[in-house]
Amino acid sequence: MCNLYRMTGAAQAIAQLFAADTGGRNLPAMDAIYPDQLAPVVTAQGPRQGTSRQLEMMRWGWPPFGEIKRPITNVRNLASPLWRSAMADPARRCLVPVTAFSEWSAAPDPQTGRKRKHWFDLPDDPLFAFAGLWGMTEEGARFAFLTCAPNEVVGRVHPKAMPVILRSGAGFDRWLAADGAGAAAMQVPLEDEVMREIAGDEAEGMAGSAQTSLF
C-alpha cells in the first residue's frame, strides 16, 4: 500500500490543472506526506459552498476503529460497507494532488538488510492525482484513496497494489461525476509507458527543489 507521497505543486498550479477554487490558499512544498497528516484535496462539492471544485485541506486516513489501530489510508475493497455509500455519491469523491509517490520494496536490500523506499512519478505530468474518497468524521474532514493491482513499473517493487492514478482532463471529470459503477470501473492501474521509477538521488533532489508552477 502507498503510505507516503509528495505534493510540491503550488496552489496556482492546482487551480489551473484541476479547475478548482483555492479559496486564497497558498501551499508550502510538501516533500513527505504521511498518514494522519493534513494534505490538499480537490472536491466537487466540498465543505465550502458556492463553487463546484474546491481546494481543501483534509487529514489523510479514516479514523481507526475496532481492531484497526492505524488510520485507514488506502481503499481496495469497494464492496466494503465502509466505502460503498461513498463510492455511490459523486460528492464524496475527491482528487488528491500528487507529484510523486513511494512504495517500500517487498524484500530487504541485500546490502543494508532494510527495505528501501522507491519513488515513482509521471514524467509528462508534473502534477497528477489519486482517485480519492472523503467524508466528515467526528475528527473533521478525512480522505483516503483507491488502490488497485499494480502495473509492471510498480509491481517490480511492490507486487501487491498501487494507487489509482488519474491524469488531467477527462479522467478528473469522470471520477468526480460518474455513477457508482462508472467510478468503480476506474479502479485499474495506470499504463506502464507513462510512469517511471525515480532514481534515489533524483527523488531526493526533487524533494529539495522549489514548488512546481504542481482497505
Residue 212, domain member (yes or no):
no
Print the domain residue range for 98: 5-207
Q: What is the 3-state secondary structure (H, E, C) of 140-194?
A: EEEEEEEEECCCHHHHCCCCCCEECEECCCHHHHHHHHCCHHHHHCCCCCCCHHH
What number is the average pLDDT over the span 18-30? 92
pLDDT of residue 212: 30
- Grid coordinates of 149: 493491482
Residue 40, domain member (yes or no):
yes
More confident position, 33 or 205: 33
More confident position, 62 or 113: 62
Kindly report which listed range (3-17, 26-40, 43-57, 133-147) carries the lowest average pLDDT score.
43-57
Residue 214, domain member (yes or no):
no
Strands ordered across the beta sheet of 117-121:
30-33, 5-7, 100-104, 117-121, 196-198
Any idea what the CATH number is for the domain that residue 111 is in? 3.90.1680.10
Residue 213, domain member (yes or no):
no
Phi, psi of 205 (to 5 degrees): -65, -40
Task: Work out the percent of the chain whose per-residue pLDDT is above 70.
Answer: 88
Q: Quote the CA–CA distance of 20 and 12 in Å, as a whole number.
A: 9
> Is the per-residue pLDDT at 208 higher than 90?
no
Q: How far is CA 215 from the centre of its chain?
A: 14
Q: Quote the CA–CA distance of 164 and 183 in Å, as a whole number.
A: 11
* pTM (two decimals): 0.88
Phi-psi map region of 182: left, alpha, beta (phi>0 left; psi -120 to 50 alpha): alpha
Residue 92, domain member (yes or no):
yes
pLDDT of residue 215: 33
Q: pLDDT grade, residue 70 (50/70/90)?
A: confident
pLDDT of residue 45: 67
Q: How far is CA 135 from the centre of its chain?
A: 15
Cα 64–Cα 70–Cα 74 angle in degrees, nearest 5:
90
Q: How many CB atoms lie within 10 A of CB 155?
A: 17
Q: pLDDT grade, residue 205 (50/70/90)?
A: very low
The total number of structural domains in the chain stands at: 1
What pairs with residue 7 in β-bridges? 30
The answer to whether 13 and 36 have CB atoms below 8 angstroms apart is no
